[in-house]
Amino acid sequence: MKLYEIAELLGCKGIESSIEISGMNTLSDAKEGEISFLSDSKYEKEISDTRASVVILPPPKVHLLPEGVIALESDDPYMSVALLSKHFAKPIRSSEISPVIGEGTTVYPTAYIENGASIGRNCTIMSGVYIGAEAVVGDGVTLYPNVTVYRDSLIGNRVTIHAGTVIGSDGFGYAHTKMGEHIKLYQNGNVIIEDDVEIGANTTIDCAVFGSTLIKQGSKIDNLVQIGHNCVVGEHSILVSQVGLAGSTTLGRNVVMGGQSATAGHLTIAPFTTLAARAGVTKSIVSKGIYSGFPLMEHKIWLKMQAKLAKIVES
């Protein structure tokens, strides 16, 4: 879109520039020709180094922009981004290029592979599997019945995904009007699953708003796990059944999350951290350890507390 078209759409006056805006992205990842936004003060530190051509932000924050970056002033930047995201969403249609299927790959008769998809060698694609346009599946991959791989997803080598799992569905993102109406923030990113990952049945991994949701090499994910948009799961991490990661959670290497443990969004979990079953994480964890409970605490403290509570009840 031309910048003046975007300004008109968002009700920003005084913008007559006809520069071409090719896409939307975060402050840290945006490139020249892309538009970004600032809606949360915690990301102000990223604005000085942004390479975005245009940034949507509140009027009091305009002075933070580097020289040469154009401001689109908005009292509600998140709402502006939601309204604009629809116009950069990819259309739901197949490519005109026939799918590529590698040597030695078996595709069951009721699987459906969209044009533009690519599947590597020696894969097994079982009944009811759907692989979307422009998705890429590596070598030696097994997709069990009714796995759904949305468009643009990238799956590495030797990955196993069990029945009913969905890769790349929309993340749960909405801007909210003053009247309580919910305006969809279109999820225009993708999912990347690296080599040697195994994912259980009926798990969902949401695509990113911008960029990628990333499952790193060697991670093992159980059944019924929910991974939100823009999350990063570190190498060789283990997520047990019914774990939930809110959007933009980053797990370090070899993080272990017990059953029904969960994180709030935009947090970082230190490498080699273990979260016991039903642990609830509301703040970033900067030091590795074993943690339990809600509110979260060191596991040894949680055990002592449970022992003392038991004595109180018995007395």
User: Which residues are marked as active site?
Assistant: 229
Q: Which residues contact 228 (CB under 8 A, 6 or more apart)?
A: 171, 172, 206, 213, 244, 245, 246, 247, 248, 249, 265
Query: Residue 294: how many CA atoms within 13 Å on its side-chain side?
Result: 11
Q: Among all chains, which residue has been given the structure tokens 């994180």? A: 263
**What residue type is 222 in one-letter code?**
D
Token pair in block for residue 263: 């994180």
> Sign of the CA dihedral 297, 300, 304, 310?
positive
* Integer CA distances (angstroms), 24 to 41, 81, 82, 88, in order: 19, 9, 11, 7
Phi, psi dihedral angles at 306 (to 5 degrees): -65, -40
b/e burial code for range 186-217 (CB count within 10 A of at least 16 → b) = bbbbbbbbbbbbebbbebbbbbbbbbbbbbbe
- Residues forming beta bridges with residue 232, ordered by sequence position: 214, 250
What CA–CA distance (Å, rounded) separates 306 from 299? Answer: 11
- Percent of the chain as helix, strand, coil, to the nearest 5: 15, 30, 55
